[in-house]
Structure 1
Amino acid sequence: MDLRHLRYFVAVAEELNFSRAAARLHMAQPPLSQTIKQLEHELGFALLRRTTRRVELTAAGVAFLEDAQEILAAVDTAGDRAARVAAGRLGRLVVGCVGSTTYSLLPQLARRMRSELPDVEFAFRGEMLSPDQVDALREGSLDLGVMRRPADTAGLSLTSIRQERMWAAVPHDHPLAARDELRLEDLHDEELIVHAGAGRSVMSGLVHDMFREAGLTAVVAHEVAETSTLVTFVAGGLGIAVVPEPTAALAVPGVVYLPLADVPDSELVAATRAGDESPVLVRALGVLTELAAPISE
């Protein structure tokens, strides 16, 4: 017995007419009749009662029809489900984002993915430092990370998303807040608020590198884990922060964002596990790349 036998039987049982069933199956009637006889022989009992005028189901045929219909429906469902998985329209994806992306790209990405792929289960983890995302990717608890380029890329595949200008987040009542733009040397005596150091944040390392390459010393007053806390500290007058431009999407009263004129841009990358070519992941990367169009200068 195979699926062909079941499909043939269901057609005959639903039509209760061999001629109509053969037409429905786009085949001749004799081979259809022969197949049903083979099926009955294999089962060892009659499924149909045939007369010169009509075809009827036996009691066993009625029971067999119900199960055959369920089996065929399950097969069709399995094929459809597999096709949707292969097309990236069904599955699960966990996405992590650094702080600045949490407040800029993540809302757009979440809306777009839920709109285009309603049958995909998405989970989003915001305010994740880049090293934490790297660890989560390797552990398998994260599928896609949006981060600053990490130092350790072993086992990862990176896609450059865009270059982002660096800005200064300044308390609104600070003398520097009245400027149109700042230079790094304007901050050399200022107390700074940075993300967690000692290798726990790529952004912290970038800030220290900027100051060192400019021949300046970064005066760190506070280290924080989250961008929202960093900006809140700035609003409280506890210092100035050097942040990627998209952080300005986090509009906190008491904070002024000003461009830094003489520092290099920061690269934003999408990270996945090397070799992971999940269709859902490929679709998400495409949407992310489209949304992360370069920020106009």
Structure 2
Amino acid sequence: MLAEVDEAAHHARRVAAGAVGHLTLGCVGSATYSLLPTLSRHLATELPGIDFSFRGEMLAPDQVEALRGGAIDVALLRPPAADLSLTVHTLRRDRLVVALPSDHPLAAKPRVRATDLADLDLIMHSADRHSVMHDVVLGVLRDVGVEPHIRHEVGETSTLITLVSGGLGVAVVPEPVTALALDGVVYRPLIRPAASIELAVAHRTDRNEPHLTRTIEVIRRLF
């Protein structure tokens, strides 16, 4: 009985220190491929007593809803996340690049101007699902007088790049997407204007469990 009491006390101390628990992290598409492998390794090393699970390819509105409902505990998302119930910390800015079929004429250029995309078939994240990237790309192109010719709208970044690989159009994506290397796709920096998009970590403001707080600290330090 004394041993059980000691074990319970030890577990309680570990809980209070944020050393044990379970958390689910939701990741925006670009983070799924480029950041999640590094993040999962660091979390396993620094917080070995916490059980982590991950959900990838989530658009920001879906992440916000999942945070509200408790389906995920932490989100790596693209702001804005206009919800007063959430605490959002900007981690960094990622520049935008253009994904092109490798045999496309623009693939021969070291950089691509936004005006080069006039009259080209574009593959974009879905407007129906309120993708942040959809609005960002429209804004970048319209600022230089280009009215986008949208051929396909998709929900997942992997599908978007797959369609580019199939020669069905070009796409503007955050630079971390370049980690998704597919045959038939090349990436070129977007210039004039050079544009970028924020990456942030978010959680519910009313959540302050020690293991969640420690996880947020690791993420902010890493990125």
TM-score category by the smaller chain?
Answer: over 0.9
2:5 aligned counterpart, secondary structure: helix
Distance in 2 (CA, whole Å) between partners of 1:232 and 1:290 is 33
C-alpha distance 214-198 of structure 1, shift in aligned 2 (>3 A): farther
Partner of 1:265: 196
| C-alpha deviation, 1:215, in angstroms | 2.1
**Which of 198, 220, 233 does residue 163 from structure 2 map onto?**
233
Residue equivalent to 2:97: 167
Query: What is the match of residue 143 of structure 2?
Result: 213
Matched letter for residue 284 of structure 1: T
Q: Which residue of structure 1 lines up, in the alignment, with residue 88 of structure 2? A: 158
Deviation at 1:87, TM superposition (A): 1.6
Deviation at 1:249, TM superposition (A): 0.4
Report the equivalent of 1:98: 28
Partner of 1:291: 222
Whose helix proportion is higher, 1 or 2?
1
Which has the larger Rg?
A: 1
Equivalent positions of 1:64-103 (< 5 A) are: 70=1, 72-103=2-33
What is the CA distance between 1:117 and its match in structure 2?
Answer: 2.2
Amino acid paired to 1:111: R
Letter in 2 for 1:251: A
Give the deviation of 1:279 after TM superposition: 1.6
3-state SS of the aligned residue for 2:112?
coil
CA contact (8 A) 1:100 1:247 kept: yes
C-alpha distance in 2 between matches for 1:216 and 1:151:
27
How do 1:1-297 and structure 2 match up within 5 A? 70=1, 72-261=2-191, 262-292=193-223
* Unmatched tracts of structure 2, length 5 or more: none
TM-score where L is the length of structure 1: 0.72
SS, match of residue 68 in structure 2: helix
Superimposed CA distance per residue, residues 198-248 of structure 1 (whole angstroms, 9 cap, x where no aligned partner): 352111111112122222211110011111111000000000010000000
Deviates more, 1:222-231 or 1:280-289: 280-289
Letter of the structure 1 residue corresponding to residue 14 of structure 2: R
Letter in 2 for 1:137: L
- Check conservation: 1:150, 1:202, Cα contact below 8 A: yes
* Count of aligned positions: 222
1:62 is aligned to none
The whole-number CA distance in structure 2 between the counterparts of 1:190 and 1:258 is 16
Kept in 1, the 8 Å contact 2:60–2:81? The answer is: no
% identity of equivalent residues: 50
For 2:79 and 2:98, the matched residues in 1 are separated by: 20
Q: Secondary structure at the match of 2:103?
A: coil
In 2, Cα distance between equivalents of 1:253 and 1:239: 15
Q: How far apart are the structure 2 equivalents of 1:182 and 1:291?
A: 30
Match of 1:275, SS? coil
Higher relative contact order (CA 8 A, sep 6+): 2
Contact 2:33/2:180 (8 A) holds in 1 = yes
* Amino acid in the other structure paired with 2:196: D
Measure, in 1, the Cα distance between the counterparts of 2:17 and 2:81: 33
Helix, strand or coil at the partner of 2:187: strand
Retained in 2: the 8 A contact 1:131–1:150?
Answer: no
> Within 2, Cα distance between the matches of 1:199 and 1:215?
25
Q: Name structure 1 gaps, 5 residues minimum.
A: 1-69, 293-297
Aligned-residue CA RMSD in angstroms?
1.2
Q: CA deviation at 1:291?
A: 2.5
Kindly provide the CA deviation profile for residues 44-92 of structure 1, in whole angstroms up to 9, marking residues without a partner as x. Answer: xxxxxxxxxxxxxxxxxxxxxxxxxx1x222211221111112211001
Q: Distance in 1 between matches of 2:44 and 2:74?
A: 16
Q: CA deviation at 1:114?
A: 1.7
Query: Aligned to 2:53, what secondary structure does the other structure show?
Result: strand
Cα gap change, 1:151 to 1:115, in 2 (>3 Å) = closer
